[in-house]
Amino acid sequence: MLGAYVTYWLFVGPLHLDPFLSIPLAMGVVFVIAYVLQRYVVNLVIRAPILATFLLTFGLAILITNLALLFWSSDIRSVTTAYSGGNFEVAGLVVPWVKLITLGLAALLTLGLSLFMAKSKIGRAIRATSMDIDAARLSGVNVARIYALTFAIGGALAAAAGSLASVSYAITPTMGDSFLVRSFVVSVLGGLGNVTGALVGGIVYGIIESFGALVFGEGYKDVVALVVLLLVILFRPYGLIGRATV
Amino acid sequence: MRAGRVVTTAVVLAALAVAAFLPNHLNGNYVHILTLFFTMAILAQAWNFIGGFAGYVSFGNVTFFGTGAYACAYAMNEFHWPFFVALAFAILVGGALALVVGAPILRLRGHYFAIATLGLGIGTQALVAQVPAFGQGSGMTLPLNSDFHFFYWTMLAILAAGIIVTYLVANSRFGFALAAIRENEEAAAALGINTAVAKVAAWGVSGALTGAAGATFAYWTSFIDPSTVFDLNFNVQMIIMTIIGGAGTVAGPTIGAAILYTISEYLGSQSISPWHAVALGAIIVFVVIVLPRGIMPYLTGRRMWNARAIGDQLRASRI
């Protein structure tokens, strides 16, 4: 939601920045906000039971959403570019440009993130912290910073998604809600802690949702998607392409 | 019984007695507000069984609220059962549903359990919205009953029953088994506790109580639709109320409900702006950081209400 707003303000503001060019800026702004929130607020309860983190982030979401409602009102905004409705045809398939670029960027970000997690020092520290926080700390990892960085990276990616969504969806302070549950489902489909899995999960989820709507009717698409979620969570909790380690 | 417990019991009984006679002396608006408060308190008491005692964070308890509401509506409309028979039916349906879905879902833990229950609530809502017998998305209308004192007393009775059941559970082998599961499930299993049965049973009790609240709510409002009775906000509120009061305590959820409900009613009466929700978000953030165990341990004197104790607790949970 914040990412979409950054894109919106840059688009309507004096800069009149193209939504795709504003993605890095949106990511940067949200990266900083998320880092500060995690470092100075969420880290306060990180060693308490998981419920505390859940509730705290939920409280923060309510807080931020409603501050946005206060300052930016609930007016629906949109980013309409010259190429918003543009598309091309391949073998009878109508492909909107915007969606194609979105897919390409998603793949690019996934590739970048998985390289970062696998190769960089910070990526290794993040994986170490998730495996064993005490061992990571003993090896000299500043876990408080790692938690903050991890949340900030997640926030920046969500902001990129928000910027991309701003081109095809209406921008409102509550726009994030409908994406939240889907992002849970997609992560579980791909396997938690699996970067490429998330991309696969996203594609599989999209296909299931669309075909569910086609076969059972539009109203059933959420039901179908959530039944699939429950089945995956029960029988393949490590994700569709993951290995059985849990 | 320790002195503290006698006092607590006396206070609770006195509060119930006062509450039972109140509606004769209040205007309709207050009766309405209190009835809604009882509803929320019942939901929090019910959530406490699975979330507070067993330590399983359920985001799917609202499923049983909606199911209870629809079970009652269907029984009254189609079978023409009197309300109390429909209420019993809703309790059975809510409890049975919790047992059936609990058996597979309660094998999951942590994130996976939370996400699965979240999916359960949203999936059930989407499903109910498709069933023609339940009026699909446009909901169901129940026989009208405008005797609002009736609903006040019914909700109060269900809440009292919920608190009594919680008290009995908290002091039983079953309650101790749940607490053991919350603290360390492997150790609990090693002690010979059948953890699967205990967890599923806890959710069953939780589902039955939630179903009772849903049924009474449906008859009270005389109109239900999927987006109202499966509203995820009910679920979030029952969790926050339980935490504010004290998860895993007997009367904590009701006290938490009273605190949160009073604050949000007061803020809501001052303005209908988003500030109301901003304040709610801020309260949640504050409570989770400063009072993660709720206020019950302070009320019963088990924890000291001073800056040092709060500082110690902060140091223990931060990183």
ipTM of the complex: 0.75
Give the CA distances from residue A143 to residues A114, A130, A149, A153, B64, in Å, rounded to whole numbers and listed in that order: 20, 10, 10, 15, 40
Residue B182, both tokens: 């919350």
Residue with tokens 């959420």: A222
Chain A residues lying within 8 Å of B127, measured CB to CB: 223
Using 50, 70 and 90 to split pLDDT, how confident is the model at B272? Answer: low
Compare all CA atoms of chain A with the CA of B101 and give the residue at the minimum distance.
A230
∠ CA B45-B47-B50 to the nearest 5 degrees?
120
Distance of alpha carbon B279 from alpha carbon A74, whole angstroms = 18
- Among candidate residues B239, B249, B238, the one with its CA nearest the CA of residue B296: B249
φ and ψ at A119, to 5 degrees? -105, -35
pTM over 0.90: no
Distance of alpha carbon A227 from alpha carbon A215, whole angstroms = 15
Residue B106, both tokens: 């309660």
Q: A86-100, A121-135, B64-78 — which one is most confidently predicted on average?
A: B64-78
Identify whether the C-beta of residue A59 lies closer than 8 Å to the C-beta of residue A66: no
Q: Given this model, what pLDDT does residue B36 score?
A: 92
Find the radius of gyration of the CA atoms of chain B.
Answer: 19
Residue with tokens 């919920």: B162
Residue with tokens 């269907």: B74
Mean pLDDT score of chain B, rounded to an integer?
Answer: 88
- Cβ–Cβ gap A48/B273 under 8 Å: no
DSSP strands (E only) in chain B:
140-141, 223-224
Q: Given this model, what pLDDT does residue B216 score?
A: 96
Compare all CA atoms of chain B with the CA of A70 and give the residue at the minimum distance.
B274
Compare all CA atoms of chain A with the CA of B279 and give the residue at the minimum distance.
A63
- Work out the percent of chain B whose per-residue pLDDT is above 90: 52
Q: Given this model, what pLDDT does residue A187 score?
A: 82
Q: Does A118 touch chain B (CB under 8 A)?
A: no
Distance of alpha carbon A79 from alpha carbon A84, whole angstroms = 9
Distance of alpha carbon B149 from alpha carbon B147, whole angstroms = 6
Mean per-residue pLDDT for B42-71? Answer: 95
Distance of alpha carbon B223 from alpha carbon B242, whole angstroms = 28
Lowest mean pLDDT among A55-59, B49-53, B75-79: A55-59
Identify whether the C-beta of residue B59 lies closer than 8 Å to the C-beta of residue B44: no
pLDDT digit string (tens) for A173-184? 888 777 777 787
Q: Does B100 touch chain A (CB under 8 A)?
A: no
Smallest CA–CA distance, residue A220 to chain B, in Å, is: 7
Compare all CA atoms of chain B with the CA of A219 and give the residue at the minimum distance.
B130
CB nearest to A58's CB, from B123, B282, B284: B284
Distance of alpha carbon B123 from alpha carbon B120, whole angstroms = 5
Mean per-residue pLDDT for B70-85? Answer: 94
Q: Given this model, what pLDDT does residue B3 score?
A: 65
- Cβ–Cβ gap B236/A58 under 8 Å: yes
Using 50, 70 and 90 to split pLDDT, how confident is the model at B208? Answer: very high
Identify whether the C-beta of residue B147 lies closer than 8 Å to the C-beta of residue B140: no
Q: Given this model, what pLDDT does residue A244 score?
A: 55
Using 50, 70 and 90 to split pLDDT, how confident is the model at A14? Answer: low
Mean pLDDT score of chain A, rounded to an integer?
Answer: 83
Give the CA distances from residue A6 to residues A38, A223, B10, in Å, rounded to whole numbers and listed in that order: 20, 33, 57
Residue with tokens 């470092």: A39
Q: A55 pLDDT exceeds 50?
A: yes
DSSP at B302: S
- Cβ–Cβ gap A230/B105 under 8 Å: yes
Mean per-residue pLDDT for B268-272? Answer: 68
Q: Given this model, what pLDDT does residue A1 score?
A: 77
pLDDT digit string (tens) for A202-216? 888 888 888 878 887
Using 50, 70 and 90 to split pLDDT, how confident is the model at B301? Answer: low
Q: B170 pLDDT exceeds 80?
A: yes
Identify whether the C-beta of residue B162 lies closer than 8 Å to the C-beta of residue B46: yes
- Work out the percent of chain B whose per-residue pLDDT is above 70: 96
Q: Given this model, what pLDDT does residue A246 score?
A: 43
Q: Does A231 touch chain B (CB under 8 A)?
A: no
Give the CA distances from residue B151 to residues A45, A133, B41, B253, in Å, rounded to whole numbers and listed in that order: 40, 51, 15, 21
Give contacts of B 176-235 with A, CB under 8 A. none
- Cβ–Cβ gap A226/B283 under 8 Å: no
Interface probe, candidates A46, A215, A230, A235, chain B, greatest B C-beta count within 10 A: A230
Distance of alpha carbon B90 from alpha carbon B68, whole angstroms = 5
Chain A residues lying within 8 Å of B319, measured CB to CB: 43, 46-47, 143-144, 147
Distance of alpha carbon A30 from alpha carbon A154, whole angstroms = 9
Q: Does B17 touch chain A (CB under 8 A)?
A: no
Identify whether the C-beta of residue A194 lies closer than 8 Å to the C-beta of residue A116: no
pLDDT digit string (tens) for B46-55? 999 999 999 9
CB nearest to A184's CB, from B55, B118, B284: B118
- Cβ–Cβ gap B116/A62 under 8 Å: no
Q: B179 pLDDT exceeds 60?
A: yes
Give the CA distances from residue A222 to residues A86, A178, A219, B117, in Å, rounded to whole numbers and listed in that order: 29, 11, 7, 15
The one-letter amino acid code at B180 reads A
Q: Given this model, what pLDDT does residue B203 score?
A: 97
Q: A153 pLDDT exceeds 80?
A: yes
CB nearest to A50's CB, from B110, B122, B283: B110
Cβ neighbours of residue A134 closer than 8 Å, sequence gap 6 or more: none
Identify whether the C-beta of residue B61 lies closer than 8 Å to the C-beta of residue B235: yes
Give contacts of B 34-93 with A, CB under 8 A. 51, 55, 57
- Work out the percent of chain A whose per-residue pLDDT is above 70: 95
Residue B69, both tokens: 């509401």
CB nearest to B281's CB, from A66, A219, A233: A66
